[in-house]
């Protein structure tokens, strides 16, 4: 099949394609704005990623795996994910398959403080991982765990009320 070299595509044609893309974006925007399920899924996947990294460090400690040098990267990933939490929850979506409590959006400053606490704990764990110091890593994991449960207690529905039970 013959293809047209890029240089032979007329400016009019490019304009036409661009126009179509813009029209598509304009039409699609209202759907994006109302995409509640998407917001819920996204923030849950972000939390799942944080949970997986934390779980991986937990495995290294629990099973005494000779993978201490990996801790630093897992901790770095958690700290990076921390920076995405605020944007993931910016849209207020309280109904649907979610465990997020409505007070996130009325106590937003506290929510941000809880994010900051997790980020700091992850950075401390990163440092402990860099030193490959088992004692410091274990202590770092404890405070990281406290930062998770601190936020979950205040802003996440208890297990008995979880959407996962329904
Ligand atoms: C700033 C608050 C906050 C912090 C800090 C936080 N979480 Fe969460 N987490 C939430 C909220 C809110 C939900 C419920 C989200 C939903 O269902 O829409 C959640 C849900 C989860 C879930 C379930 C996701 C799903 O698929 O339903 C996991 C796993 C999780 N968090 C792990 C962690 C771990 C591990 C940490 C600490 C390293 C942590 N979280 C720190 C607020 C937080």
pLDDT digits (tens, 9 = 90+) for 52-108: 999 999 999 999 999 999 999 999 999 999 999 999 999 999 999 999 999 999 999
pLDDT for position 18 = 78
Of the candidates 128, 130, 119, 129, which has an alpha carbon nearest to the alpha carbon of residue 79? 119
CA distance 48 to 59: 16
Task: For the chain, list the domains and their CATH numbers.
Answer: 37-160 (1.20.120.10)
Percent of the chain with pLDDT over 70: 89
Q: What is the mean pLDDT of the chain?
A: 91
* CB of 122 closer than 6 angstroms to any ligand 1 atom: no
CA distance 113 to 150: 10
CA distance 36 to 13: 37
* CB of 54 closer than 6 angstroms to any ligand 1 atom: yes
pLDDT digits (tens, 9 = 90+) for 119-140: 999 999 999 999 989 999 999 9
* CB of 48 closer than 6 angstroms to any ligand 1 atom: yes
CA of 158 to the centre of ligand 1 (A): 12
Which whole-number Å values give the CA distances from 156 to 35, 72, 149, in the listed order? 21, 28, 9
* CB of 49 closer than 6 angstroms to any ligand 1 atom: no
CB 141 within 8 A of CB 150: no
CA distance 69 to 76: 12
Ligand 1 atom closest to the Cα of residue 104 is 12
**What's the pTM value of the predicted model, to 2 decimals?**
0.85
* CB of 82 closer than 6 angstroms to any ligand 1 atom: no
């Amino acid at each position: 099949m013959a293809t047209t070299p890029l240089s032979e595509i007329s400016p009019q044609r490019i304009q036409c394609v661009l126009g179509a893309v813009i029209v598509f974006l304009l039409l699609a925007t209202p759907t994006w704005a109302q995409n509640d399920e998407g917001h819920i899924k996204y923030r849950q996947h972000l939390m799942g990623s944080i949970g997986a990294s934390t779980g991986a460090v937990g495995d290294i400690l629990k099973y005494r795996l000779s993978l201490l040098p990996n801790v630093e990267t897992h901790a770095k990933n958690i700290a990076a994910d921390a920076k995405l939490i605020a944007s993931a929850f910016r849209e207020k979506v309280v109904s649907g398959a979610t465990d997020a409590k409505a007070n996130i959006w009325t106590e937003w400053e506290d929510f941000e403080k809880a994010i900051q606490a997790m980020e700091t704990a992850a950075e401390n764990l990163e440092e402990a991982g860099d030193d490959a110091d088992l004692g410091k890593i274990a202590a770092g994991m404890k405070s990281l765990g406290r930062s998770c449960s601190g936020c979950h207690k205040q802003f996440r529905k208890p297990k008995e009320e979880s959407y996962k039970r329904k």
